[in-house]
Chains A and B, each alone.
Chain A
Amino acid sequence: MAKQTQADPKAPVTSLAQSDKPAVEEDYWDNQQKKQGKLFDVAFFYDWCKACGLCASLCPRKIILNDESGKPYIEQMDRCSGCRFCVIHCPDFAITVKDRFADRRRATDEK
């Protein structure tokens, strides 16, 4: 076994990479997102929303909150990671997630 590990060129590289890898910081993903400059806007279409609470429970960042009547709202919009998990799980087609500043110079939507 020892011979095999010595002969294998990949083995020391992987071990080095593992040891050099820093521990994951607490707000790693927030920093990463700010570095990339990707922010998202979540729009709720309240006329179609039935306040089922699926989006709030399925959000991986837990940023969607429910108000007294059960309708969703977001306070910390910058923390949205843009996964669209709420969009595909909304039974009422009431959620849109957009890249922020994606088309700010355009007056109307184009195909």
Chain B
Amino acid sequence: MREEAEIIRQEYLRHDKKFPHVWCPGCGIGIVMGALLRAIHNLGLSKDEVVLASGIGCSGRMPTYVDFNTLHTTHGRSLTFATGVKLAKPELNVISVMGDGDATAIGGNHFIHAARRNLDITAIIINNSTYGMTGGQYSPTTPYGSKSTTSVYGHVEHAFSIAELAVTAGASFVGRGTVYHASHLDKLIGQAIQKRGFSVVEVISNCHVQHGRRNKLGGAVEMMQSFKENAVTIGKAAKMSPDEMADKFTIGVLTDIDKPISTDEYRRIAQKAQRKADQVARTKVKNGVKRYEE
């Protein structure tokens, strides 16, 4: 018997790419990648029926290392390429990995409209509250007052919550996890892949090199401990007062609803239109009109 970790390392990683990977020591993206691989391994999907698309950024390096059908696309357009793959081959499991700037700033429009259309895509959004790869500029999820390269004296804008945005935009499944709760995370990702409909998993991750260093949040270990302290499950959060919830965030499944999927609806409409066209052609033949097409 091989260990699960051995199977993942030997079969799901591309060893011809340069390992160890490019992410900083202690970066949460490696943990998210491990959780994703474990989720796919536990679901029993073959490597050929999974498509992993990503945009630009630290998270954009993830498809390079995993041995699925992978796409490394332009900035913020991970979901648009994933939409194209899903429309062409609906039998594939399409997963789109994005960072917080990738999903909500550059690709924000694509994100909310993919949620509104309810395509059968799984979006994993790794939220580390900064643009890590380009040098620590502020992103839409940078908290108010925190320092970054482009807000040296403190950020003046307020952050918004990606998971609640996805709920409002109409996604079928929305979950939030952290990199500290790694086994919870691979359950969440497994549920999201199995769910038919647009499913979003927001993962709170650490960027101790760009975000933590400038805001004196400590290294990877300290940020990981802060996730442990600040993460509250949804059941527990309902009993807490708003003052207690001030610096905390909820983890777990935020919404899980069943809605018709746009690709299925599109097919149904296409069949309907085809039937109508056939009917028109048949009546023309009956009335003695010559059909030039045949």
Interface of A is mostly: loop
Cross-chain contact B8 with A93 (CB below 8 angstroms) = yes
- A91-B26 in contact given A52-B220, A57-B221 (Cβ < 8 Å): yes
Query: Does B19 sit at the interface, judged by CB under 8 A?
Result: yes
Q: Count contacts between A and B, CB distance < 8 Å.
A: 77
Q: Are B1 and A91 interface neighbours, CB within 8 A?
A: no
Indicate which residue in B1, B182, B224 contacts A88 across the interface (CB closer than 8 Å).
B182
Q: How large is the interface on A (under 10, 10 to 19, 20 to 34, 35 or more residues)?
A: 20 to 34
- Contact mask for chain A residues 44-81; partner B; CB cutoff 8 A; 1 contact, 0 none: 00011111111001100000000000000000000000
Contact B2 A109 (CB under 8 A): yes
Asked if B21 contacts A92 (CB within 8 A), the reply is yes
- Specify which chain A residues have a CB less than 8 angstroms from the CB of B24 in the assembled complex: 50
Max chain B C-beta neighbours (<10 A), residue from A58, A89, A98, A110: A89
- The count of chain B contact residues (Cβ–Cβ below 8 Å) is 33
Look across to chain A and name the residue whose beta carbon is closest to the beta carbon of B224: A54
Determine how close the nearest CB of chain B comes to the CB of A86; give it in whole angstroms.
Answer: 10
Q: Is A51 a contact of B25 with CB atoms below 8 Å?
A: yes
Chain B residue at minimum C-beta to C-beta distance from A103: B1
Is A96 located at the chain interface by the 8 A CB criterion?
A: yes
Closest A residue, CB atoms, query B11: A111
- Closest residue on chain A to residue B180 by CB atoms: A89
User: By the criterion CB–CB under 8 Å, are A92 and B20 in contact?
Assistant: yes
> What residues of chain B have their CB less than 8 Å away from a CB belonging to chain A?
1-3, 5-6, 8-9, 13, 19-21, 23-31, 34-35, 38, 179-180, 182-183, 186, 219-221, 224-225
> Assuming A50-B20, A88-B31, A90-B34, what are 20 further A-B pairs, CB within 8 angstroms?
A47-B19, A50-B24, A50-B25, A50-B26, A54-B220, A88-B34, A88-B35, A88-B183, A89-B182, A89-B224, A90-B31, A91-B28, A91-B29, A91-B30, A91-B34, A93-B30, A96-B3, A96-B9, A103-B1, A109-B2
